[in-house]
Amino acid sequence: MECPRCGNHAKAPQASCRHCDFHAAQLTEELGSSLVRMEALNDNANCLRLRDRHFLIDELESLQQEFPQVFFCVFLGILPPQPTLPETSFWLLNHAAFPTQDGPRLNEYAALLMIDPVAKCAGLNLGYALETLIPQKELSRILAAMRTPLWHGEFANAIDQALQLLARALRKAGKRVPKKQEFRPPDTEKGFLNATGLQTLRPATPPRTLSTLSKDITSMSPPADVDDRDYHFPPPTAR
């Protein structure tokens, strides 16, 4: 990882940076130690139009389905001069709770894109499980691609470019595996009989033909044009 203060390489967030003596505890003293809730899209500066918000939320949800282990988070907010944006982004990544279907999740598989619309600068931080998969040079390329639209105030375009480039890097690093197909158990006797094609000795409905059963089975299958694979990443190593 890079030191959020001087940008030089640091081995671990717990260790002091040997170049500038930065320590994560310094940010905790300034910004606190409480966990904060983060949604996928946080526009605290009200920079995005409604249609742009809907577009980006759909894009984030699509990426979440493609990379189920990763939580993508975008934050737009006017930040104070101190701490700097890289330092604030570093603190937020380590103190954010990301809501999922299984409850709040911490940051090991998080990707946080932070934008200050007034200063027109951005930072991109990854959880430690993703740091070893995507090199810092790739993150620098993503931020460089955002520079022009960000400078012109095209925040939705800048975010879209960053998400697309980040997804491309994750596809290179991840392993594609088939999705698990889950079927709900029938909740009634009628539902069970309809799903299996079995009939009682005294059927309440006319017998089902082979063509009808074939249609029912086809309807239970995933659509042919839907990709049934997603990307997975190895678990984080012990720090």
Tell me the CATH number at 54: 3.10.310.50
Is the same domain home to 53 and 161?
yes
Global confidence as pTM: 0.70
- The answer as to whether 119 is a domain residue is yes
Residue 45 CB-half CA count within 13 A: 18
- The answer as to whether 8 is a domain residue is no
Is the same domain home to 80 and 155?
yes
- What's CA 20's distance to the chain center, in Å? 31
- The answer as to whether 86 is a domain residue is yes
Predicted pLDDT at 147: 95
Is the same domain home to 201 and 87?
no
> Which residues are CB-neighbours of 147 under 8 A, at least 6 positions away?
none
Is the same domain home to 158 and 205?
no
Residues of the chain with pLDDT below 70 are: 1-2, 4-15, 18-19, 21-25, 100-106, 175-189, 191-193, 195-197, 202-231, 233, 235-239
Alpha-carbon distance of 130 to 219, in angstroms, equals: 38
Instruction: Give the domain range for residue 187.
Output: 182-221
Is the same domain home to 30 and 132?
yes
CB atoms closer than 10 angstroms to residue 98: 21
Is the same domain home to 37 and 145?
yes
Predicted pLDDT at 131: 87
Q: For residue 6, which amino acid is it?
A: C
